[in-house]
Each structure stands twice: as structure tokens, then as C-alpha cells.
Amino acid sequence: MTDTVTPPPLLQMEGIEKSYGGVRALRDGRLIIQQPGTVHGLIGENGSGKSTILGILSGQIRPDGGALLVEGRPVSFSSPVDALRTGIAMVSQETALAPLLSVTENILLGRRLVRGRTGIDWRRSHQRAKLVLDRLGLTYDPRAPIGSLRPDQRQMVEIARALSLDSRVLILDEPTSSLSEDEVASIFQVIRNLSSAGVSTILVTHRLSELFEICDEITVLRDGRTVASGAAASFNPESLVSAMVGDTAAQKRVKRERIAIPAAARDSAPVLTALNVSSEPDLHNVELSLRPGEIVGLAGLVGAGRSDLLEAIFGARPRTGDVLIENVTLAPGRPSAAIRRGIGYVPPDRKTQGVVLGMSVVDNAMMVASSDRFRLRPPGTRRDVQAVSAIGSSISIRTHDLGVAVSTLSGGNQQKVALSKWLIDPPRVLLLDEPTRGVDVAAKAEIHQILVDLADRGVALLVSSSENDELLNICDRIVVMLRGRVVATVARVDADEAKLSRLSGGHLDD
């Protein structure tokens, strides 16, 4: 037997566990990078544990269990600084740069500007930044302010910053989600340059085509477990999607609450029609229509334009193009006008947009219904309180007292309060953005029931969600968006999670 000892893998995570409260985010996370210079793709549905495992790897989250080894040596990070010292750097989804500072200052942010005898030596600092940029094959002026760069260029400056810390493993969390195709190509060129310089990259993306284009290895997470990993060549799009969403039996376990579209919804004229709706630069020429009693889902990746579409219709962001309510045009840019015409909107961030945390349940619930009343009338009259308490008990808002501040309620109950303001006096069209984000399982089911009940009463619902199973659960029809455009519309009977995943990722061939 020869004495060849295979060197330990550059990076090895085994059996990683992490729970939040009672929720297990990770139960068996495994991620192995054998050699320096590898480009490793990480893929999984929302909630599969990607962010958690990367958070653990970059020192932001402490694991409950499992092993993390770098070149065979066990390590444990108690902060991102520890991870950086070991050579692991994370480039986050949202760029965290100071827009008015120069490229140099951002790359060498903090203590690493070169110091001369009279304060900062700017000439040498710029040279040092230039050196880092050169390694990436970038030709930006180190003196330029970050704000003057394109989004992809800013992303590269973030990569440069990570690189200037002598990183050996670079984590890129969806670097391409908001970029155009040319910009994606330039990021990939940088990743290839790094790879040949021996720097490994872990790339998170939802776009299957990107994985096959650039990755050497792929790891698939599902429900907090690593369910597949191996060379990219050993996968194909079908096998990846089925690894992500689980076996075919899993697709059948979706609970179908709505058996059939009500007849009224099939036959009547649309209550809302969007014609050529655009809101540059995020939304382009969207057309869709909603009939009374219909629940339409909006599927797509984060950044695909789902939220922008809802905001544009409701008037919370400027738009061009027409929105018709029963064939009458709706003025753009004014939520109060939209509300008077019978449109409601449940925003994605309940704590800052959905409710006023410091105000009582009654005051929050009455906010919409009373928005048109004479302002010197008294609030919280007996009748209002009765109306709120009727709605509150019908959707089971759990509090002993409707006068308490909403901030004291749990997430699910806060979301029900955000919904309740549209139930006192139901609109004709209700737009919902991530209606069950961050709520517990029981509240989620209750909220779905509320939405189905609303549709049964003839309200048209447009529901945006990043969870495809949620859309399959309650929607009659699902509109898929990609990069600010509608790319497909599928009836629920023809849709399953795999199909939605493929369409969202840009595989439109089927």
C-alpha cells in the first residue's frame, strides 16, 4: 500500500443543527469543499436552511451542534471577525457600503487605510485598493464614490473588500438576484478569476442555469437537511428540482382548501385590470386581471418584482400604465384614492407598514374603515368597538383586551390585526404581500382560511408569496414573475412546486 495521504478538505461542515425556539432550521446540515478554488453552489427552497448554514459558517449564528473543520482542524466562531481571521468572508445580499465614500475607503473600510506621518496616506491607500481591484481584473477608479457605480460594480467592490482581508472562502448570497444578464456575466468572470487564484466561492442562487454555468459542485438543502451534494455534472435541472422540493409524494401533500373556483369568478367581468403597468427600473409592462372571488398568486424569486407590482397597483410607488377598476381608471400614486375605489393592501413588513405597533388593536383595526370619516368625530365608539370585536373573534385575534398596544401581541396575531383593518369593510380587491411571513404554523393556516373566506364572499385577491406551497394551497391561478415581468400564468390544476420553481428560475421551455 502506498503512503499517499489525501489532504483534509479545505472546509467541512457535518451534522450542523440549529433551532429557533421550537423551530428546527437545520437538523443535518452538511457542506464540504474539497479543494481551494472550487466554486460551490448552494441551493434550496425558502426556509430550507441556506441562510442559517451560511450564517453559521460566517460566524453570525452559533450552531447548536455539529462539526466545522477548516483544513481538518475543528474551529468554532463566536463572531464574524473569527470567521474572517480564518479566511471565510460573507458578501451579504444587500450591499453594505457607504455610498458617499470612495472605492478605496470602502475596500479598506475601518483601520486598514494606510497611515503616513501626517494622517492618512491617500496615495498609498489608493494604490493598495488598486492592487486588490487588479486581482479581480477590475479597472475602477479607486477615488470614485461608490454611489457613482452600478449595482453589479458595487457588489464587486464588496467582493474586493472581502478579498482584501485575505479570504480563502468567499460566500456570495444571491449576488445576482437584482442584476441584469450582462452584469451577472461580469460577476461570474470575477468568480472565475478568483477560482484560478485559489479562492473558493460558495454561491447561493435560485437560478438553475447559473448553477450549471459556473459551479463545480452543488449542495442541495431541504427542510434543514443536506439532501444531495456532488459534482455539478452529476445533476441535471430535473434532478436538482426534485431534490429541492422532495419526492413526488411530497407534492401531493399540499392541502387543497379550495376545490373549485366559484362560478361567479369564472364568468364575471374582471374587477381589476392592469394594462402595461411599469415602474422603472423594477417593473416592466405587466398585464393581468382579477375577477371577483378569484385568488391569484404571484410567484417569483425575491427581487422578481412581485412587491413592486402590488405597490404600483395600490399607489404606494409611482407607476405608468393603467389600472382599471371595473373599467374606470385609477389615479396612480395615492393609496387613499385606491382605498376609496375599493382596493386594499396588506404590506409585507407588518411591524413598520402593516400596523402601528404603539396603538391599540381597535385603533389599528379601525384605521382603514374610518379613514374617510370626518376627522373631529370620536374614535372607538361602542359601535366601532363592537365591529372590531366581532371581526377579532371571527378571525381569533388572541388577546384579552382590544385596548392593548399591538406591540404586545405575537407575530401571527399582529398579522391578523393588519388583516382585520380590511375586514371591517371589505374591499373589492385585496392585495397581499407575504401574508404569512414569520407567523407560526397554526396562524398561517388560520390566515389562509380568512383569505379563502374573503374570496368566497366575492373579494378578488392577489397574493404574493415566496413560498410556492402556500400559493398552490390557496390560489386558483398563479402568475410567475421574473426580473420585473410576467413570464407565465398557470392554472393551479396544472401547477406543482417543481414547475413553479423552474418557471421562477427562468426555465420557460415547458
Partner 1 sequence: MTTEHFSQPSIWARTWKGSRPFRPVFVVLVVVFVVLAIAQPVFASAQNLQNLLTSISVLWIVAMGMTLVLITAGADLSVAPIGALAGILLAKLLQAGIPAWLAIIISLVGGAALGGLVNGTLIGRFNVSFFVVTLGTLTAFTGIVNLWSNTESIPVNEPVILNLAVTRFLGLSGPVWIMIIIFVVTLFIQQRTFFGRDVYAVGGSISAARLSGIRVPRTIILVYAFSGLCAAIAGIVAISRIGVASPQVDANLPLQAIAAVLLGGTALSGGTGGVVGTAFGVLFIGVLSNGLSIAGVPSFWQQIVTGVILVVAVLADRIGLRRRTKSTTETSGTQPPESITAPEELAAKTSH
Q: Which of residues 61-100 bind partner 1 (CB under 8 A)?
A: 61
- Return the number of the residue (129 or 419) whose C-beta is nearest partner 1: 419
438 sits near partner 1 (criterion: CB under 8 A): yes
- Return the number of the residue (80 or 438) whose C-beta is nearest partner 1: 438
448 sits near partner 1 (criterion: CB under 8 A): no
Euclidean distance between CA atoms 103 and 144, whole angstroms = 6
255 sits near partner 1 (criterion: CB under 8 A): yes
358 sits near partner 1 (criterion: CB under 8 A): yes
Site for partner 1 in 307-326 (CB under 8 A): 314, 316
Using alpha carbons, list the distances in angstroms from residue 252 to 245, 256, 299, 473.
Answer: 11, 9, 19, 11
Of 73, 400, 494, 510, the one binding partner 1 (CB under 8 A) is 400
Site for partner 1 in 21-50 (CB under 8 A): 21-25, 46-50
3-class SS letters over 300-340: CCCCCCHHHHHHHHHCCCCCEEEEEECCEECCCCCHHHHHH
Of 233, 441, 491, 493, the one binding partner 1 (CB under 8 A) is 441
Q: 21-27 — which CB contacts under 8 Å span 24+ positions?
A: 24/224, 25/49, 25/52, 25/224, 26/52, 26/53, 26/56, 26/63, 26/224, 26/225, 27/223, 27/224, 27/225
- Name the minimum Å distance from CB 28 to partner 1: 13
359 sits near partner 1 (criterion: CB under 8 A): yes
- Name the minimum Å distance from CB 366 to partner 1: 8
Site for partner 1 in 406-435 (CB under 8 A): 408, 410, 421
* Stretch binding partner 1 (CB under 8 A), from 123-131, 189-197, 436-444, 474-482: 436-444
119 sits near partner 1 (criterion: CB under 8 A): no
Euclidean distance between CA atoms 122 and 115, whole angstroms = 8
Query: Which triple of cell numbers denotes residue 432?
Result: 397581499
Query: Which triple of cell numbers denotes residue 112?
Result: 486598514
Helices 441-456 and 411-420 pack at an angle, to 10 degrees, of 10
Quick one: DSSP state of residue 347? -
379 sits near partner 1 (criterion: CB under 8 A): yes
- Return the number of the residue (24 or 85) whose C-beta is nearest partner 1: 24
Of 331, 390, 493, 508, the one binding partner 1 (CB under 8 A) is 390
386 sits near partner 1 (criterion: CB under 8 A): yes
- Return the number of the residue (115 or 256) whose C-beta is nearest partner 1: 256
- Return the number of the residue (126 or 222) whose C-beta is nearest partner 1: 222
Site for partner 1 in 257-296 (CB under 8 A): none
Euclidean distance between CA atoms 380 and 386, whole angstroms = 9
Euclidean distance between CA atoms 226 and 216, whole angstroms = 17
- Name the minimum Å distance from CB 354 to partner 1: 6
327 sits near partner 1 (criterion: CB under 8 A): no
* Stretch binding partner 1 (CB under 8 A), from 196-204, 228-236, 377-385, 499-507: 377-385
Euclidean distance between CA atoms 341 and 319, whole angstroms = 17
- Per-residue string for binding with partner 1, 191-230, x by CB under 8 A? --------------------------------xx------
Euclidean distance between CA atoms 122 and 112, whole angstroms = 12
Which residues in 363-390 are b (16+ Cβ under 10 Å) and which e?
A: bbbbbbbbeeeeeeeeeeeeebbebbee
Which residues in 113-143 are b (16+ Cβ under 10 Å) and which e?
A: bbeeeeeeebeebbebbbebbebbebebebe
Of 73, 111, 117, 375, the one binding partner 1 (CB under 8 A) is 375
- Name the minimum Å distance from CB 109 to partner 1: 24
Of 144, 254, 275, 452, the one binding partner 1 (CB under 8 A) is 254
